[in-house]
Copies of this chain bind each other. A is one copy, B any other.
Amino acid sequence: MFLLTSVLVGVVCLLMVWIFKSADGGTQRRKGEPRARAEARPWVDEDLKDSTEVHQVEEDADEWQVSEEEVEHVPFSHTRYPEKEMLKRSQEFYELLNKRRSVRFISNEQVPVEVIDNVIKAAGTAPSGAHTEPWTFVVVKDPDVKHKIREIIEEEEEINYLKRMGPQWVSDLKKLRTNWIKEYLDTAPVLILIFKQVHGFAANGKKKTHYYNEISVSIACGILLAALQMTKTVPKELASIYLLTL
């Protein structure tokens, strides 16, 4: 009865079901070409690894250049608010986003599909490593499919809580009163599943590496959350529910 787009806000965060990962087994590297190790600042080296995988054997260095020639040049246009207006807009945006909460109680009210399309299109404007846009957004409205997704997630989450996360992590989550039961995956009228693409495919079907894919997809998720939060507001009575931030 209460949340509208928060239907999605909560769900989005929980459904980073990185499935593409499973389709992509191990890293391959040409023999005799071990990755060069640099000396200074080891964390930079570690950061570069991301979950990016290197497919030098499968890629053709010319493929990216070819596709570039087909891309139309779009002149950059820029506009600016006067300072007073910048200040007002930044303040209002902060206040609006500060009202967002990650919740476990979700409304079953419908949201127009055009709104879903727009927030996903907004997320797709995110920057990405080498402009690979390594994300796939899947919108699910069918109740049976939603329920199957819930079953898969609950099964995995139960293993997380009981085995994978360890006693400290489970203890840290106690104050948030979360568990592996996720009824709201049935309640929400729409689920947006977000997948990271560890690699893409070039025109000839060969694998194309997606650099910094996890960071890129997460940035897109941040923009998606902002877009969802932008679409609501107009007073409405509702119950005070316990606050949870994922």
Interfacial residues, chain A to chain B (CB-CB below 8 A):
2-6, 13, 16, 18-19, 21-22, 33, 35-38, 40-48, 54-56, 59, 61, 64-65, 68, 73-83, 85-87, 89-91, 93-94, 97-103, 111-112, 114-115, 118-119, 121-122, 125-131, 155-156, 159-160, 163-169, 171-176, 209, 211, 214-216, 218-227, 230-236, 238, 240-246
Decide if A126 touches B48 in the complex (CB within 8 Å): no
* Residues of the B chain whose Cβ atoms lie less than 8 Å from the Cβ of A97: 122, 125, 223, 227
Known contacts A159-B38, A176-B131; A78/B236 CB under 8 A: yes
Complex: chain B residue closest to A240, CB-CB: B75
* Residues of the B chain whose Cβ atoms lie less than 8 Å from the Cβ of A129: 246
* Residues of the B chain whose Cβ atoms lie less than 8 Å from the Cβ of A167: 56, 61
Decide if A125 touches B94 in the complex (CB within 8 Å): yes
Decide if B122 touches A103 in the complex (CB within 8 Å): no
Decide if B209 touches A172 in the complex (CB within 8 Å): yes
Query: A9 → chain B, closest Cβ, in Å?
Result: 8
Complex: chain B residue closest to A245, CB-CB: B131
Decide if A78 touches B171 in the complex (CB within 8 Å): no
Query: A229 → chain B, closest Cβ, in Å?
Result: 9
Decide if B35 touches A164 in the complex (CB within 8 Å): yes
Decide if B38 touches A21 in the complex (CB within 8 Å): no
Decide if B235 touches A79 in the complex (CB within 8 Å): yes
Decide if A168 touches B209 in the complex (CB within 8 Å): yes
Complex alpha-carbon distance, A171 and B130, angstroms: 10
Decide if A87 touches B112 in the complex (CB within 8 Å): yes
Complex: chain B residue closest to A169, CB-CB: B211
CB < 8 Å neighbour of A64 from B5, B175, B234, B238 = B175
Q: Enumerate the 9 nearest inter-chain pairs by beta-carbon distance, A residue then B residue, closest first.
A: A222-B222, A218-B218, A90-B118, A21-B43, A36-B163, A75-B240, A219-B222, A226-B226, A127-B246
Query: A50 → chain B, closest Cβ, in Å?
Result: 9
Known contacts A112-B86, A173-B130; A18/B47 CB under 8 A: yes
Decide if B4 touches A22 in the complex (CB within 8 Å): no
Query: A10 → chain B, closest Cβ, in Å?
Result: 9
